[in-house]
Structure 1
Amino acid sequence: MTSSLETTPTASALRIAARGGRATRTRVAVLDILSRAGRPLSHDEVGVALDDGGVEHDRVTLYRTLDWLVTHELAHRVSGTDRVWRFNAAVDEGHGHAHFHCARCGSVFCLESLQPTIAATLPAGFRCERAELTFYGSCPNCR
């Protein structure tokens, strides 16, 4: 007697499919990790979380996955003074927020309550594709 397991797509799988992408195990796992993290994660931190979850991957696949998620507006990329990109899940389209980068420990925190509403007027012919608002200082743990 054979039985089939019914699987229900996760929220991450549905979001990926809605953007026209294949909901591969790595893409779904990475988006799940970013969604649960509560703070932006580096490539290495995401890799460790994938390892901990038993998801096989390699560095190149992880870089491509993160780039795909950013390109398709499912994740944001945040630059740090340590020259390390960190990634967090996009909450919804058009949602932007500021970040706080601790200069001592290197942690980056999302400032969800601070919504940038600056309307920049660009000269004719210019088009803004990305903007970041990041505050730098010491987090409570490092003060």
Structure 2
Amino acid sequence: MTVVKNTAESAAEAETAALLIRGTGARATPARVRVLRLLRMAPAALTHHEIEQAIGDLPVDRVTLYRVLDWLVESGLAHRNADAQRVFRFSAAAIGEHSAHTHFRCEDCGRVFCLDAAPPAPPSLPEGFSLSHLELDLRGRCAGCTGEHR
């Protein structure tokens, strides 16, 4: 998957990614900045392999990339979800968002799309239960697979 933006947009997005990373109290390493920038610019969630291919010019080995992705998820800057084939896909979290998030999963191509719609309110929980997060996965066919591209 290729994400093409002009140089000014790309530089601004890199600076935004660095600021978000520093906002967690962590160092904005080149690998973290590049991966977060890529996730923020991507139109849909990406697999580890797609991310690895997209940052091929940055000398990052697979283990480092896994660590960066894990760190971004743990820091609340990215989401990790398994698709229908049980392949993890990563997407950038909305700024300030750490919990409720809705996804649409295409049953044909396996792509995962982040939606702006928040999931419904959780049901009442029994006494003593504590909800840590709520996710809603919608499943069906994306516009690319139905042939209804806009």
Q: Report the TM-score range of the alignment, normalised by the length of the smaller protein.
A: 0.7 to 0.9
Does the residue aligned with 1:142 lie in a helix, a strand or coil? helix
1:33-48 to 2 correspondences below 5 Å:
33-48=38-53
Following TM superposition, by how much is the alpha carbon of 1:37 offset from its aligned partner in structure 2, in angstroms?
A: 0.3
TM-score computed with the length of structure 1 as normaliser: 0.84
Task: Provide, for residues 62-111 of structure 1, a one-character-per-residue CA deviation record: whole Å limited to 9, x for no partner.
Answer: 11111111111111112211111111111122363311111111111122
What root-mean-square deviation, in Å, do the aligned CA atoms of Structure 1 and Structure 2 show? 1.9
Partner residue of 1:126 out of 118, 121, 129:
129
1:1-143 to 2 correspondences below 5 Å:
10-51=15-56, 54-94=57-97, 96-112=100-116, 114-143=117-146
Q: Which amino acid aligns with 1:85?
A: F
- Contiguous gaps of at least 5 residues in structure 2: 1-11
The CA distance in 2 between the partners of 1:64 and 1:57, in whole Å, is 11
Q: Which amino acid aligns with 2:87?
A: V
Question: Residue in 1 aligned with 2:8?
Answer: none
- Contiguous gaps of at least 5 residues in structure 1: 1-7
Q: Of the two, which has the highest radius of gyration?
A: 1
Q: Which amino acid aligns with 2:72?
A: L
Q: Percent identity?
A: 45
Count matched residues. Answer: 133
Does the residue aligned with 2:119 lie in a helix, a strand or coil? coil
Q: Which amino acid aligns with 1:90?
A: A
TM-score computed with the length of structure 2 as normaliser: 0.80
